[in-house]
Structure 1
Amino acid sequence: MFERVNPATGEKLDAIAEMDDAAVEATLARAQSTFREWRVSSLDTRTALLGRLADAFEADKRRLAEIATREMGKTLKSSIAEVEKCAAAFRHYAEHGPSFLEGEDVAVSKGSARTRWLPLGPVLAVMPWNFPYWQVVRFMAPAIMAGNVGLLKHASITQGVAAALEEMVKKAGGPDGLFQNLAIKSDAVEKVIADKRVVAVTLTGSEGAGAKVAETAGKHLKKVVLELGGSDPFIVMPSADIDKAAEQAVTARIQNTGQSCICGKRMIVHADVYDAFAAKFFEAMKAVKAGDPMDEESDMGPLSSFDQRDTVLDQLGRMKKAGATLEFGGEKLDSPGAYMSAGVLTGVPRNADVAREEVFGPVAMLFRVTDIDDAIALANDIPYGLGSSVWTNDSGEQDRFERDIAAGMTAVNQMLASAPEAPFGGVKLSGYGRELGPWGMYEFMNMKTVMLPG
C-alpha cells in the first residue's frame, strides 16, 4: 500500500493499493497493443490530442494543483503555475512536433539517402515527487508526439498525481494504454525494465536510483536518460546588479521549499561585493514566511515529508560539525507539519564532504571568492553538473563561465529555469541525455537511414 500523508499537517490522507503482478502484466500488454496502433497514427491525430490535453490541464488546474499540494506540500500558487507550464508544453509539441519529425536528405557518394524519425515503443518513466506534474509531462508530451506510449512509475508519496495524469490523458481522448500509471514500488522496477516490451527508460531522481536503473537498462541493452541531482552554483561578480541578484538568489533557494534540482544552492560571491550581497540576501531570507501551502501569503510550504526534513537537518548538523556557521534559520518550526525555516550557512569548509552534497531544502551555502578563476574552481568542485546561474555584465566573464563551468545548463543574469523549447540535462553525476525541445523527443526515437537508388 502507498500511504499518503499531508506534510503540512501530518494527517494521513488515505492509502492506495499497490499493483500486483497480474495488474502489471495487463498494463504492459495494453501498452504493447496500443503502441502497434499509435505508432502509425497521423500527426494530426497526435497534435489534436496534445491540444486537448493543454485545454484540459488549463480548465482543471485548480483541482490538479490541490492534489499536488496536499501530497507533497508545495504552495498552491506554485502548483497552479506548474500545471499551467504543463499546458504550455503540450501546446509547444502540438505546434512544433510535426516539424521536429521531418526527415532530412543526406548527401552520399552513390544514389541518394534520407532520414526518418520513427518511434520505439513503450517507454518507462521513473519520476520524483518535487515537480510531480512537470517532471512527467516533459517526458509525456514528446513521447505522445513521437508515436511512443508511456508507462509511469511515480514517487510513492505522489500516487494521487500519478492517477490524475492517467485520468487526464483518457479524458482528453487518448486511447486506452497510451499513458498508464504503474502503481508499483521501487523494488518492482527492475522487473519492468527487464520486460522485453519496455524499450527504454527515463529517470529523474537521486544518483543512487539512477545508477540502479542504468545498471538494469544496460544489462538488457536498453536506452536510458538520467536527470539526477545537482548542487548548482549561483555566482555573483562585481559588475552584476546586486539588488536583482540577491532577490533572485532568495527565490532560487526557497522555490518549492528548496526542493528543486536546478535552483542555486551554493551562492558564490566575489569578495568585492560579498558584504553588499550578503546584507541584502540575509535580510530577504529572514523575511521568508513558511506556512500553510494553501495560504496565498505563504512564501513556502513544508518539506515533502518528515523524512526529507530530517535529512536536511542532518546535513546542517554535519556542516556545523565540519566548521560552518549557521547564520540564522535552518530549524524545525513549532508545527505539526514538516516545516523548517529558511537559513544561510557561511564558512563551509570547501574540502568537507557534506559541502559537495545536494541540500534539498531551503538553506543556502554562501561562499566568498577572490576572482573568476576561484569562482569557477569552486563551482566545479562537486561531483554534479546540472545547472548554474552567473551574474555579470562583463562579456569576457560571461564567455568564461559559459565555456568553463562543468554543467549542462548556465543561466546568465537570471535564475535558471526549464523551458519546453530548450534542452534540459546535466553532466558528471547529474546524469546524461536530454529532455525537452526536439532533443528530448529524439532520445527515444529511431533515426532511420533510407538509402535510395540514384
Structure 2
Amino acid sequence: MSDTITTVNPATGETLERYTRMSGREAADAVEACHKAFLDWRHRPLKERADVIRAIGKELQNSKDALAQLMTDEVGKLLKDSRQEIDLCAAICDFTAENGPKVLADEERKIDNGTGVITYAPVGVIYGIQPWNFPAYQAMRYAIANLMAGNGVLLKHASSCTGSGLMLRDIFERAGLPKNLFTVLLIDHDTSDAIIANPLVRGVTLTGSDKAGKLVAEKAGAALKKTVLELGSNDAYVVLDDADLELAVKTCVAGRIYNNGQTCVNAKRFIVTEANYDAFVAAYTEAMQKIEPGDPTDKATKLGPMSDAGLRDDLHKQVEQSLQKGARALCGAKVPDRPGAWYPATVLVDVAPGQPAYDDELFGPVASIIRARDDEDAMRIANDSRYGLGGGIFSKDVARARKLACEHFDTGMVSVNGYNVAKPNMPFGGVKDSGYGREHGGFGMKEFVNAKSVFLTDA
C-alpha cells in the first residue's frame, strides 16, 4: 500500500491533496499520547467536559463555510447537505452538553445495611473507524459521546475525507479540547489491526459494511474489547393500502436520493401493496426521471456525484446483476459518459429474492420497488432481510402504523409518514447484520463506560 493518501474531487476527478501515512511506530506513539491526555481528562468534572463540548458546537458553526466546502470537495455531497450536516453535529454537541451531566451522574440505591452507588467511570481510549459519506457526522456521533463520558478518542477516517477529519481535530482544539485527546490516525489496514490490539485501546466502534463489521468485531473480540457496530442496511419503506400516495411518493424520492443515495438509512426498498402499486410506480418513476445530476455546489442541484468512481462501478454491477436476474429498469441504470463519479437516479421494478436489488445494500441513487399482495404481505417482505437498521410505514391510520412499527418492524428505527436520518435525542442503531449498540439519545454516552458498583456499609 502507498505511503501517501491522495484525496480526489469526485465531481471532477481532480486531485485535491496528498497526505503522508503514519508508520506503525508513529501510530503507537499517537495512541500513547491520547492515553496520557485521557488520564487528565477523566478527572475533569462533568460540567467542565460539557462546557468544552458546547464550545465545540459553537466552533463548528464558526467554521461551517470552510468545513462544508471541504466535505463537498472531498466526497461530492451537495453543499447544502454539508452545511446541514454541520448543523446536526452542532446540535449533537448541544444535546450532549445539556444532558451529559445528568445521564452520567452517580446514582444511589438502597442496599442492605447501607447505600449502593453506581458511578459511570470512563474506561480509556476508544478507537473509531468511520466511512466517508458523512465526513463530520460519522466522527462526531461517537466522539462527542465518548469525550463527554471522559474517554479519549482515536479516529481512523476514510482516506477520501482525510482533510475533513484533520479539520475536525483542529476545530476541537480551537474550542478548548486538550491536545491529543481527539487524535486522527492516518494509517493503513494493517496498522489499524495493531491499534485494535494495542492494550491502551479499550473499545472499538465502526460504521461501515457488514463485512467490515464482522472482521473488526472478530479482531476486537480476540482482544476481549467491546465493540459498537453501525453497519449497512437496505431499509424498507412500506406503502400500505390506506397510504397518502402523494406524500409517500414525495418522501420516498427524497429518502432515496438524500446524500446522493449514499446513506446507511436511505430509503432503499419500496414495498407497495397491490392497491397502490401501479400509481406509485408511475408517479415515483416520473419524479426520479426529472432529477438531473449536477454541480454539488449549486443550490438547485438535487443529486451530486457518488464519492468515487470505484464505488459507482460497484453499484452499477449490482444493477446489472439485478437486471440479468429479472429486474427491469424504468429509468437510469446507465453510467454517463463524463468525468467524475456520476450515476443517474434509477428505478428498478420486478425486484425479487436472489437479486442484489432485493437482498443487498445498493449504496447510491437506485430505488428497488417491490409489489406486495396486501398490508400483511408488505410487512413480511419488509422484514425479509438480513439487515435491520431503519425503515418506514405510510398509512393514514397513525395508531395502527405505530403498533406495526413498535411490534412488527424488525429494525432499530422506524419512521411513520416521513423520512428521518438521525435525531440527537433519539437512539440510533440497528439489529441483525446492521450491527449492535446505540448512539445518540444519551445511549452512546454509556456504551464505553464502566458502570461501577460502590457499596457503602452503614457504620
> Quick check: TM above 0.5?
yes
Instruction: State the match for 2:8 in structure 1.
Output: 5
1:384 aligned counterpart, secondary structure: coil
Deviations 1:3-33 (Å, cap 9, x if unpaired)?
1111000111121110112321221111111
**Alignment check: 8 A CA contact 1:388 1:416 kept:** no
Instruction: State the match for 1:368 in structure 2.
Output: 371
User: What residue identity is the alignment partner of 2:400?
Assistant: G
Instruction: State the match for 1:447 in structure 2.
Output: 451
Deviation at 1:187, TM superposition (A): 2.5
- Check if 1:291 corresponds to 2:283: no
Q: 2:75 aligns with which of 40, 48, 72?
A: 72
1:280 aligned counterpart, secondary structure: helix
**Alignment check: 8 A CA contact 1:372 1:397 kept:** no
Kindly report structure 1 stretches of 4+ aligned residues shifted beyond 3 Å.
Answer: 351-354
- Superposed, 1:238-253 pairs within 5 Å as 238-253=241-256
- Check if 1:437 corresponds to 2:423: no
**Alignment check: 8 A CA contact 2:28 2:195 kept:** no
Instruction: State the match for 1:234 in structure 2.
Output: 237
**Alignment check: 8 A CA contact 2:130 2:207 kept:** yes
What is the rounded CA distance, in whole Å, between the counterparts of 1:43 and 1:113 in structure 2? 21
- Superposed, 1:264-283 pairs within 5 Å as 264-283=267-286
- Check if 1:152 corresponds to 2:188: no
Instruction: State the match for 2:51 in structure 1.
Output: 48
Deviation at 1:353, TM superposition (A): 5.3
What is the rounded CA distance, in whole Å, between the counterparts of 1:138 and 1:398 in structure 2? 27
What is the rounded CA distance, in whole Å, between the counterparts of 1:410 and 1:443 in structure 2? 22
- Superposed, 1:25-424 pairs within 5 Å as 25-352=28-355, 355-394=358-397, 395-424=399-428
What is the rounded CA distance, in whole Å, between the counterparts of 2:343 and 2:215 in structure 1? 31
Deviation at 1:156, TM superposition (A): 1.2
What is the rounded CA distance, in whole Å, between the counterparts of 2:10 and 2:171 in structure 1? 25
**Alignment check: 8 A CA contact 2:109 2:117 kept:** yes
Deviation at 1:297, TM superposition (A): 1.5
User: What residue identity is the alignment partner of 2:256?
Assistant: R
What is the rounded CA distance, in whole Å, between the counterparts of 2:173 and 2:114 in structure 1? 46
What is the rounded CA distance, in whole Å, between the counterparts of 1:60 and 1:353 in structure 2? 40
Deviation at 1:110, TM superposition (A): 3.8
2:132 aligned counterpart, secondary structure: coil
What is the rounded CA distance, in whole Å, between the counterparts of 1:416 and 1:79 in structure 2? 16
2:201 aligned counterpart, secondary structure: coil
1:429 aligned counterpart, secondary structure: helix
User: What residue identity is the alignment partner of 1:90?
Assistant: C
What is the rounded CA distance, in whole Å, between the counterparts of 1:318 and 1:272 in structure 2? 29
What is the rounded CA distance, in whole Å, between the counterparts of 1:96 and 1:35 in structure 2? 21
Deviates more, 1:253-262 or 1:98-107: 98-107
1:438 aligned counterpart, secondary structure: coil
What are structure 1's unaligned runs of at least 5 residues? none
- RMSD, matched Cα: 1.2
What are structure 2's unaligned runs of at least 5 residues? none
1:67 aligned counterpart, secondary structure: helix
What is the rounded CA distance, in whole Å, between the counterparts of 2:32 and 2:102 in structure 1? 31
Deviation at 1:397, TM superposition (A): 4.3
User: What residue identity is the alignment partner of 2:382?
Assistant: A
What is the rounded CA distance, in whole Å, between the counterparts of 1:293 and 1:119 in structure 2? 41
**Alignment check: 8 A CA contact 2:319 2:356 kept:** no
What is the rounded CA distance, in whole Å, between the counterparts of 1:441 and 1:18 in structure 2? 31
Aligned length: 454
Deviations 1:228-285 (Å, cap 9, x if unpaired)?
0000001111222211111110111101111010121000011111222222211211
Deviation at 1:354, TM superposition (A): 5.1
2:442 aligned counterpart, secondary structure: helix
User: What residue identity is the alignment partner of 2:289?
Assistant: K
**Alignment check: 8 A CA contact 1:253 1:264 kept:** yes
Deviations 1:290-311 (Å, cap 9, x if unpaired)?
1111111211110000001101
What is the rounded CA distance, in whole Å, between the counterparts of 1:53 and 1:108 in structure 2? 40
Deviates more, 1:334-343 or 1:69-78: 334-343
TM-score (norm 1): 0.98
Deviates more, 1:426-435 or 1:348-357: 348-357
What is the rounded CA distance, in whole Å, between the counterparts of 1:392 and 1:141 in structure 2? 36
**Alignment check: 8 A CA contact 1:332 1:339 kept:** yes
What is the rounded CA distance, in whole Å, between the counterparts of 1:170 and 1:379 in structure 2? 44
